[in-house]
Amino acid sequence: MKKYRIGLVGFAHMHVLDQIKPFLTMPQRVEWIGAADIKPMVESEYFESSSRSRNLELCKKQCGFEKVYEDYKELLDQKPDLVLVNCENAFHGTVIPEILMRGIHVVVEKPLAYSTAHAMAIERASRIGGAECMINWPTTWQASVRLGQKLVSEGVIGKVYRFQFRNPDSMGPFSYGQVMTDRQLGKEWWHQEAAGGGSMLDYCCYGTILSNWYLSQEPQGVYGLKANFNHRFGDAEDYASLMVRYPEAVSILEGTWNTISSGYPSGPIVWGEKGALIVENGGEHGALPNVCVYRDRYSTTPNEVYSSGDYPLPEGREDLAKEVFHHLETGEPIHYTMDLKNNLWSAAMLDAGLRSSRSLKMEDVKNACWTIG
């Protein structure tokens, strides 16, 4: 059984701590060879919980590697089999191609890229280098989200015409007990537009990949809106929304850092000719989330309730590490949401949304940078 030599590049995203967890459960299959961070556009002044320095410190402790390289290319010279990338969104388009061109596989935290141009650079590098780029989405590992898509694809609500998704309660990436000044917050990449910060790429991104998956259609155009209501210490938006036009459907996606309590399910919520389907956020008393189907007008009681606990993730592919190893070793397709080609569409939708927020008109998903048929 193959043992994978794995390196870590980038510690800007706190999801790196969740990303390594499934690999840590398989020590017989993983050798951690070292890590390297990417120099930020603006130097941080915060070094506690969720900071890049603390993320690196915790990964070093948990993974047990000793070597931290000044330049990530020095890490690549050690010829790892796989690199987990968690740098700023704006750096994906330069860092990931460098890795792929060396024939090294990549797992990158969502979203794939800051722009269509960066996404296409990653796709070209993957083809030329003969290496896989796989995108990790936390929602991929939620059985309820997979169950919802399964039911929609089976036609339980008939022909679908509307999809909706928004993030659950969030007041921003540093609202989980961190004590920070406005100056410190403004120096974090999350609040810097040039670094790929902002709620659109942070949260609307989930809806782009999920709506394409649920609707099984290619998006055509996007209306995008951005605003900064409460995080004025940075120039990145704290609220964003996308309205996406498909040939026979529409999706409405929201990403916000101003949600104390959502008050209703974040979704996905899907409307069809025969009813509506809601993927609930969580079950009562620790139960797994339900997927509810409503068929009667004005009713607040679902006609059918499906517990995600009855539909577990596939054995041997139930977490990130197992899914990646399964794909690389069997050649079987990786999960839809992790596939590079599907994520090119997601990146292009976000790009169109960003352009639309400036032009104030619908923008085509396929712009001049799009090179995939």
- Per-residue b or e along 274-306, where b marks 16 or more CB atoms closer than 10 Å to that residue's CB: ebbbbbbeeeeeeebbbbbbbeeeeeeebeeeb
Residue 373: the pLDDT is 76
Nearest-angstrom CA–CA distance, 156 and 159 = 9
Q: Which residues of 109-129 are buried (b: 16+ CB within 10 A; e: fewer)?
A: bbbbbbbbbbbbbbbebbeeb
70 domain residue, yes or no: yes
Predicted local distance difference test score (pLDDT) of residue 285: 52
Confidence (pLDDT) at 262: 72
Kindly state whether residue 368 falls inside one of the protein's structural domains: no
- The pLDDT assigned to 284 comes to 56
Residue 369 lies in a domain: no
Write down the pLDDT at residue 7: 98
On whether residue 364 sits in a domain, the answer given is: no
The answer to whether 105 touches 82, Cβ cutoff 8 Å, is: yes
Which of the residues in the chain have pLDDT under 70? 283-287
Do the strands 105-109 and 82-85 form a parallel or antiparallel pair, or are they unpaired? parallel
pLDDT of residue 248: 98
Taking Cα atoms as reference points, which of 298, 314, 262 lies closest to residue 146? 314
Q: Which residue has the tokens 């979203």?
A: 111
**Chain centre distance of CA 360:** 26
CA 11 – CA 289 distance, rounded (Å) = 31
Q: In this structure, are 121 and 183 located in the same domain?
A: no
- Containing 164, the helix (H) or strand (E) segment is strand 160-166
367 located within any domain: no
Q: Cβ contacts of residue 143 below 8 Å, gap of 6+? A: 288, 308, 309, 311, 312, 313
The verdict on 80 and 167 lying in the same domain is no
Full residue range of the structural domain in which residue 79 is found: 4-139+316-336
Residues 41, 161 within the same domain: no
Are residues 106 and 132 located together in one domain of the fold?
yes
Same domain for 109 and 10: yes
The answer to whether residues 214 and 144 touch, using CB atoms and an 8 Å cutoff, is no
| 150 domain residue, yes or no | yes
User: Considering its fold, how many domains does the chain have in total?
Assistant: 2
